[in-house]
A and B are shown apart, each in its own frame.
Chain A
Amino acid sequence: MIEISPQLVTILMLGGLMVTILTGFPIALPIGFVALVVGYLVFGPPVLDVIYTQIYGILHNYLLLALPLFVFMGVTLEYSGIADKMYDALFLLLGGLRGGLAIITVVMGTVIAACVGVMSASVTLVTTLALPSMIKRGYDKKLAAGAVAGGGTLGILIPPSVMLVVYGPMARLSVGKLFMGAFVPGLVLCGLYCTYIFIRCLFQPNLAPIVPAGERAVPFIHKMRLFLTSLLPPTFIILAVLGTIFAGIAPPTEAAAVGAAAALILTAAYRRLNWQNLRNIMLRSINITCMAYFIAAMSVGYTGVFLRSGAGEVVQQLVLATPGGRWGAFAVIMFIYFILGFFIEWIGIFFIMVPLLAPLAPVLGFDPVWFGLMICINLQMSFLTPPYAFTIFVMRAAAPAELGVETGDIIRGIVPYVLLIMMCLGLCIAFPQLILWLPSMMIK
């Protein structure tokens, strides 16, 4: 045990974290390692009890249980085959429109990826489902890749979003309010994406050939049946989950459990619920949950050491001392999240940064819900911004090789979407009511 100033602790912990996680070892361990080493220097052996209590506390958190439950719901919906059915239905509905397939992709992302929650899973899902169909019908590769990236990442914002489930407890905010707050910006983004595709295809029709009418000629009865069985159930599930939260009936954890059960029933109704699938659903969700909880556990150990040693105040004072007043500080915070989003899975970012930076929102005079959602939208932009965008790597891995979609195509396709998210951020700054209106309508 030696005397270390909080300033030095701040440098050691933040610097140590940056260096160690870049080694590429599974990130939970470097995070815990830095907490252990620096914590030992500051507190001596009791640091182990600090870390242990923090870990036990986060694992024991009732609100955070919504995370495994929403993951379970998402994985179940993936196995239910709803995505394919929905794609077919939307194909018949919008295939005749110029650029229709790209718009379908964005809509799919909005609805289906919203349920999946884990970003790499939702981007993979949309890539494998929508990308081949567009490329084979002669869509421009850049346009197609952009729509997939934009649509696939939209899911992490639109409720029920796993990202918000984590942000809530970390910032001590109501997850329900965050969900409601995310609705309008999510729809604004979806609208912006679709409008962009529509206008672009209007002026450059060669980018997106219309699907021949022959492929869409299906008897009316069949069409209706497809719509009823594919579009209604997921809408019903989402609305049921969100409705109970909105009406103040049940907390998000219980709503998530009901959503998970509903997803299982839907899978059974589609005759996909056999032992093989059930086993895979459980295994995949426990796999994802353990990954997330391991990072969460080590990260709260890290923040426990960080805050107890007084380094939290150092960071907060540093941010508050930014020139340019509250908007200067806001810009700095946004920039920090944006850069971190390049490197670290959002789970790690949230468990480490939110306890440090979220308390600053009221100090700076911002509404905490608005502040949180700005961070989430901003992170979504970070996941899309080349060259280190997470989404690009996931898409590259998921896209079938025979389509010939190069990284360059993906990057050029993505750029307009980054600009559109910036536009959305600007809109939310100019009109905070876009975020705050729905939460204010909630029954408390």
Chain B
Amino acid sequence: MRKTIHVIESISEWTGKIFMWSMLILVVLLCHEVFMRYILDNPTIYSYEISTMLGVIIGTGALAYTHLRHGHVRVDVIWRNLSPKGQAIADAVGSLVFFWPLMLLLVWTSFDWVIYSYSVHEISQESYLYPIVWPVRAVMLLGFILIIPQDVIKFIRSIYLIRGKKLS
């Protein structure tokens, strides 16, 4: 059990460590574009599309990392005033009711879209770059998939807390 938890939390940690680079890449890419367009007067054709693709990657890639770090904000008007046990109960119920059904269905839908996009060779037509779309959709799917085990771990931790046991 402990080992599984450790493995999953390491994976979540790594989603942050990997996808954090997309932030820096975005900054460099857009600065490069600014330089090319306004100083050399020679705008690139790839910068616009690639930056929007990076937007998808930045926005979903590290969802599991944010969840691991308790980064997803809550409306804690009531939650804050509960006992640790009460908070754990609220979180466990939340996982069962809100989290898993929604995320599993989203994973399923995202998967269909990736397959569809791949099979029809979907191409983005917002610029003259015409890039294929499925890899970006696949990263989004990956982000949605990886946050689920992280929430299962949180659920298990809540259950342990409710039953008054300790889990290192």
Q: A interface vs B, CB < 8 Å?
A: 20-30, 32-33, 36, 48-49, 51-52, 55-56, 59-62, 64-65, 68-69, 72, 249-250, 253-254, 257-258, 260-261, 264, 279, 282-283, 285-291, 293-297, 342-345, 388, 393
Q: Is the interface of B mostly helix, strand, loop or mixed?
A: helix
B78:A24 contact, CB within 8 angstroms: yes
- The answer to whether B66 touches A24 (Cβ under 8 A) is no
Known contacts A30-B98, A293-B59, A295-B73: A261-B31 contact under CB 8 Å: yes
User: What's the minimum C-beta distance from A10 to chain B, rounded to whole angstroms?
Assistant: 21
- Write 13 A-B pairs (CB below 8 A) sorted by A numbering: A24-B80, A25-B94, A32-B106, A48-B105, A52-B113, A59-B56, A61-B52, A250-B38, A282-B24, A286-B58, A289-B58, A294-B59, A294-B63
Q: Judge whether B69 and A287 touch: CB under 8 Å.
A: yes
Do A27 and B102 touch (CB < 8 A)? no
C-alpha gap A240/B60 in the complex (Å): 31
Question: Is B26 at the interface (CB under 8 A from chain A)?
Answer: yes
Select which of A21, A49, A60 is within 8 A of B109 by beta carbon.
A49
Stretch from B2-10, B14-22, B160-168 contacting the other chain = B14-22
Could you say which of A52, A295, A393 contacts B106, with CB atoms under 8 Å apart?
A52
User: Is B98 touching A20 in the complex (CB atoms < 8 A)?
Assistant: yes
Asked whether B97 is an interface residue with its Cβ less than 8 Å from the other chain, the reply is: yes
With A52-B110, A56-B140, A294-B66 given, is the CB distance from A254 to B55 under 8 Å? no
Q: A195 CA to B76 CA in the complex, in Å?
A: 35
Cα A48 to Cα B112 with chains together (Å):
11
Residues of A within 8 A of B30 (CB): 65, 69, 253-254, 257-258
Complex CA distance for A52 and B103, rounded to whole angstroms: 11
Q: B-side interface residues toward A, CB under 8 Å?
A: 16-17, 19-24, 26-31, 33-34, 38, 48, 51-56, 58-63, 65-67, 69, 71-80, 82, 87, 90-91, 93-95, 97-99, 101-103, 105-106, 108-110, 113, 137, 140
Beta-carbon contact of B19 and A286 below 8 Å: yes
Q: What's the Cα separation between A393 and B106 when bound, in Å?
A: 34
Quick one: which of A30, A288, A345, A393 has the most chain B CB within 10 A?
A30
Q: How far is the CA of A55 from the CA of B105 in the complex (A)?
A: 14
Q: A51-B106, A343-B75 are in contact. Are A36 and B20 (CB under 8 A)?
A: no
| Contact status B58-A291, CB under 8 Å | no
Does the CB pair B72–A291 fall under 8 Å? yes
Q: In the complex, which of the residues A56, A289, A393 has the most CB atoms of chain B within 10 Å of its own CB atom?
A: A289
Q: Do B59 and A285 touch across chains, with their CB atoms under 8 A apart? A: no
A23-B93, A36-B105, A48-B105 in contact; A254/B34 too (CB < 8 A)? yes
Q: Are B55 and A23 in contact (CB under 8 A)?
A: no
Q: Residues of A contacting B33 with CB < 8 Å?
A: 254
Q: Which residue of A lies closest to B19 (CB)?
A: A286
Q: Which residues of B contact A282 (CB under 8 A)?
A: 20-21, 23-24
Q: A22, B77: Cβ atoms under 8 Å?
A: yes
Q: Which of A23, A56, A68, A388 contacts B94 (CB 8 A)?
A: A23
Q: Give the residues in chain A near B63, CB-CB below 8 Å.
A: 290, 294
| Cβ contact within 8 Å between A286 and B20 | yes
CA distance A33 to B104 in the complex (A): 12
The reply to whether B23 and A290 contact each other, CB–CB distance below 8 Å, is: no
Instruction: Kindly provide the distance from the CB of A345 to the nearest chain B CB, expressed in whole angstroms.
Output: 5
Say whether B20 contacts A279, CB under 8 Å: yes
Contacts of A48 in B (CB 8 A): 105-106, 108-109
Cβ contacts under 8 Å, A27 to chain B:
72-75
A345 and B97 alpha carbons, distance in the complex (Å): 22
Q: A24-B75, A29-B102, A294-B59 are in contact. List 4 more A-B contacts (CB 8 A).
A: A33-B98, A294-B63, A295-B73, A343-B77
Bound Cα distance A49, B113 (Å): 9
CA distance A182 to B114 in the complex (A): 42
- C-alpha spacing A282/B27, complex, angstroms: 11
- Contact between A297 and B93, CB atoms less than 8 A apart: no
Q: Quote the shortest CB–CB distance from A35 to chain B (angstroms).
A: 9
CB pair A59–B59 under 8 Å, yes or no, is yes
**Cβ contacts under 8 Å, B65 to chain A:** 283, 286-287, 290
Which residues from A are CB-within-8-Å of B16? 283, 286-287
**Distance (whole angstroms) from the CB of A284 to the closest CB of chain B:** 9
| Cα–Cα distance between A404 and B63 once the two chains are bound (Å) | 37
* Chain A residues whose CB sits within 8 angstroms of the CB of B62 once the complex forms: 286-287, 289-290
* B38 with A61: CB separation less than 8 A: no
- Chain A nearest CB from B33 CB (Å) reads 7
Contacting residues, chain B, for A33 (C-beta < 8 A): 97-98, 101-102
A25 lies within 8 A of B77 (CB): no
Write the nearest CB–CB distance from B148 to chain A, whole angstroms: 12
Complex interface: chain B residues within 8 A of A60 (CB) = 52-53, 55-56
Residues of chain B within 8 A (CB-CB) of A25 are 74, 90-91, 94-95, 98-99
Residues of A within 8 A of B28 (CB): 261
In the complex formed, the residue of B with least CB distance to A264 is B27
Does A36 lie within 8 Å of B102, measured CB to CB? yes
Most chain A beta-carbon contacts within 10 A, residue among B20, B34, B79 = B20
Looking across the interface, which residue of chain A has its beta carbon closest to that of B74? Answer: A24
Cα–Cα distance between A388 and B106 once the two chains are bound (Å): 34
| Distance to closest chain A CB from B95 (angstroms) | 8
In contact, B56 and A56 (Cβ under 8 angstroms): yes
Q: How far is the CA of A59 from the CA of B79 in the complex (A)?
A: 30
A118 to B30, CA, bound (A): 22
Contact A289 B59 (CB under 8 A): yes
Q: Does B34 lie within 8 Å of A250, measured CB to CB? A: yes
Q: Is the CB–CB distance between B102 and A32 below 8 Å?
A: yes
B94 touches A290 (CB 8 A): no
B66–chain A nearest beta-carbon distance, Å: 4
